[in-house]
Amino acid sequence: MAEAHQAVAFQFTVTPDGVDFRLSREALKHIYLSGINSWKKRLIRIKNGILRGVYPGSPTSWLVVVMATVGSSYCKVDISMGLVCCIQRCLPERCGPYQTPQTRALLSMVIFSTGVWVTGIFLFRQTLKLLLSYHGWMFEMHGKTSHITKIWAICVRLLSSRRPMLYSFQTSLPKLPVPSVPATIQRYLESVRPLLDDEEYYRMETLAKEFQDKTAPRLQKYLVLKSWWATNYVSDWWEEYIYLRGRSPLMVNSNYYVMDLVLVRNTEVQAARLGNAVHAMIMYRRKLDREEIKPVMALGIVPMCSYQMERMFNTTRIPGKETDVLQHLSDSRHVAVYHKGRFFKVWLYEGSRLLRPRDLEMQFQRILDDPSPPQPGEERLAALTAGGRVEWAQARQAFFSSGKNKAALDAIERAAFFVALDEESHCYNPDDEASLSLYGKALLHGNCHNRWFDKSFTLVSFKNGLLGLNTEHAWADAPIIGHLWEFVLGTDTFHLGYTDTGHCLGKPNPMLIPPQRLQWDIPEQCQAVIESSYQVAKALADDVELYCFQFLPFGKGLIKKCRTSPDAFVQIALQLAHFRDKGKFCLTYEASMTRMFREGRTETVRSCTSESTAFVQAMMEGSHMKADLQDLFRKASKKHQNMYRLAMTGAGIDRHLFCLYVVSKYLGVKSPFLAKVLSEPWRLSTSQIPQSQIRMFDPDQYPNHLGAGGGFGPVADDGYGVSYMIAGENTIFFHVSSKFSSSETNAQRFGNHIRQALLDIADLFQVPKVES
């Protein structure tokens, strides 16, 4: 094979005259350039480590301090108050490079200045951490900022005025606080009150009080100890026990999907769109490695934790019999590609140079044009990642631990990410309501064997050029992949562009090494395991009902006229819709973030409150005056906003109880209260999808450049999963999932209830609506 020969730097044969070397100059050139590129990355990481380590200081500020100390000495002013002299006396005499008094004095001043500089950085960081621990600004009325908050904002801006790198604020972020047990118990009981009758509530209250008085104090001590020692008392246990120890299939149950821009189409050439997207992704990875991405800032001044971004690329979830492991590599120079049952390895670099979009388009087109058939067992191989984790772990150990199978699997698992070239087309047609749902289903599970569900994300490319992502959940939460996706879509549209014929700009290099076909030797026993995993995955996929729709009558702009937050408006509408759908209330999960704390991930907002249920019941009765309904709605909205703020500031309910439960398991302590709490099903699981984390373009100038967000499968077998994106001022996208096997749920029916609930609440405030 030509590519195999070009990959060899030199060959040799032994002859009677000695050893005959045959050097390949081209291969040696690529090896040399790769080495140079590797050393550049090391130097960049060292430089970034220094700059990050001294933030908010800088090498320039160190030089200023040294010059000030030396300058004052020449002016006969001792700003060190004798410390320079003390340092000078401690230096060894008549040895080394500082034999003269002038050299010794200069070295002493440099040491003193460095000490002052380091002390200053430490004090600045501690002050910034203290300032970032203040969350009073979140609880103030919009437009009514207190003097304390104004002074706080000025101080934060002053201490973080120097341009930060991606991880500059990490050591200045406060730790996630451990709430007090009584506060958590009180909030928990308050959250379940509308879901229980008086007798059930009394039993739960009794269990809670017994836990609070007898078991909790011991568990809490261990948790507080962990919070002192660990960076975050929740995140490592959350990742391990909620994600990595899960033995059910990742597909539908854990992985989620993200959609493309749905109202505009840049090109219909599949390989071209993919060429631009992959190039943009590697550009993003380069910025990530160099820490050139700006940290996400709330209100433009409060930094969010960025640690989840570290494992975005070059990451794979490795299956285990008891627990999985996240394998993260520092670098990867290729992507793995799936097309028509075949796997390929595509290099992203030529030497040290990133391939241009036109070159990548050519490489993907070569795969599309390749007529070779799949090898035995290859076509459905990826179904192993879609089935049970134990079965996949056993198969991996038995059939992929040596030989060509191991080499091929390594090529996939060590890839920067996975690319799926689909043969079908999908798009959003506003005149065809089912089109968005079909698109979502294709992203969520595909045909159960054309996504590598273990990779940090799979980039899905449809035949008509539409893209999407299927993302593994353990390594990070949705806002992280959303940050990447916004960059990719913005770069593709506004920076890279296409020719008039829809191809990438520039000319391809036909001398590039073609994509490498991965070779497998899959025995019949392994093929049987693959088929079994495929059947499990197919049954799971066929059971998922997904209903995606665009709500057109109004969006964020008109909701604000109700003087409430858009998120609270939608959440209360979901409560009304769910009661109309099932005739009862249920435990409701809304994901919020805790990224204002170091290594923070998520917290649960229990959206079904006494206030929201009171409003829903009043709406259902139909006999209340509009003013009374408005008042009930505002109370429910205020309650929801307060709960969301508490969750974001570390005063949530569920993560604290989860960690107490983990400690109880370690200690072998049985708690009926914790067992009851952790077994309660979330029959309505919801999440708002963030947008505009990166301002790549002006949405007012390009109103049709809207992504439709993404979605996930239902958490409970008899429940709903709902994700929504408030896409600008005039529209909202919803993704509703349920299971066909449940007689209690119907995703489309619930979606229609959501539509009507939004309209009914808007009518209370006489919000004018646009006809859809």
From CA 334, how far away is CA 513, in angstroms rounded? 12
Mean pLDDT of 421-441: 93
Q: What share of the chain is helix, strand, coil (3-state, %, to 5)?
A: 50, 15, 35
From CA 402, how far away is CA 419, in angstroms rounded? 25
Tell me the three-class secondary structure of 185-247, residue by residue. HHHHHHHHHHHCCHHHHHHHHHHHHHHHHHHHHHHHHHHHHHHHHCCCCCHHHHHHHHHHCCC
Tell me the three-class secondary structure of 47-109, residue by residue. HHHHHHHCCCCCHHHHHHHHHHHHHHHHCCCCCCCCHHHHHHHHCCCCCCCCCCHHHHHHHHH
**pLDDT value, residue 120:** 81
| 310-333 pLDDT per residue, tens | 999 999 999 999 999 999 998 999
**pLDDT value, residue 583:** 94
7 pLDDT band, cuts 50/70/90, is: very low
1 pLDDT band, cuts 50/70/90, is: very low
Q: Quote the tokens at residue 465.
A: 């050029």
- Give whole-number Cα distances, 234 to 100, 176, 244, 461, in Å: 57, 8, 15, 36
233 pLDDT band, cuts 50/70/90, is: very high
Does the pLDDT of residue 9 top 50, yes or no?
no
Mean pLDDT of 90-100: 64
Mean pLDDT of 227-254: 94
Mean pLDDT of 238-245: 94
Share of the chain above pLDDT 70, in %: 91
Across the strands, what pairs with 736? 547, 722
31 pLDDT band, cuts 50/70/90, is: low
Residue type, 545: E
Does the pLDDT of residue 438 top 90, yes or no?
yes
758 DSSP 8-state letter:
H
503 is catalytic: no
pTM: 0.89
Lowest mean pLDDT among 188-192, 282-286, 593-597, 694-698: 694-698
61 pLDDT band, cuts 50/70/90, is: confident
Q: Which alpha helices (DSSP H) does 141-195 contain, by range?
A: 147-159, 181-192
- Between CA 55 and CA 46, with CA 694 as vertex, the angle to 5 degrees is 30
Q: Quote the tokens at residue 310.
A: 């570290």
Give Cβ neighbours of residue 103 (< 8 Å, ≥ 6 apart): 97
**pLDDT value, residue 41:** 64
494 DSSP 8-state letter:
I
| 131-181 pLDDT per residue, tens | 999 998 888 877 788 889 899 989 988 888 778 888 888 989 999 999 999
Does the pLDDT of residue 294 top 50, yes or no?
yes
Sign of CA dihedral 278, 279, 282, 283: negative
Mean pLDDT of 95-122: 76
482 DSSP 8-state letter:
H
Give Cβ neighbours of residue 545 (< 8 Å, ≥ 6 apart): 737, 738, 739, 740, 745, 746, 747, 748
**pLDDT value, residue 692:** 78
Mean pLDDT, the chain, rounded, equals 89
10 pLDDT band, cuts 50/70/90, is: very low
**pLDDT value, residue 767:** 55
Q: Which residue has the higher pLDDT, 490 or 84?
A: 490
Query: Among all chains, which residue has been given the structure tokens 């996949």?
Result: 392
Helices 181-192 and 654-667: crossing angle in degrees, nearest 10, is 120
Q: Are the C-beta atoms of residues 485 and 584 closer than 8 Å to each other? A: no
Across the strands, what pairs with 701? none
**pLDDT value, residue 35:** 63
Q: Quote the tokens at residue 111.
A: 């040491």
Q: Quote the tokens at residue 495.
A: 């920076």
Mean pLDDT of 499-520: 94
From CA 427, how far away is CA 434, in angstroms rounded? 10
| 564-611 pLDDT per residue, tens | 889 999 999 999 999 999 999 999 999 999 999 999 999 999 999 999
Active-site pick, 30, 334, 473, 640: 473
Lowest mean pLDDT among 85-89, 289-293, 484-488, 586-590: 85-89
Residue type, 660: L
**Farthest-apart Cα atoms in the chain, separation:** 105
**pLDDT value, residue 29:** 61
483 pLDDT band, cuts 50/70/90, is: very high
From CA 475, how far away is CA 308, in angstroms rounded? 7
Count helices and strands in the chain by DSSP H and E runs: 24, 22
Q: Are the C-beta atoms of residues 419 and 461 closer than 8 Å to each other? A: yes
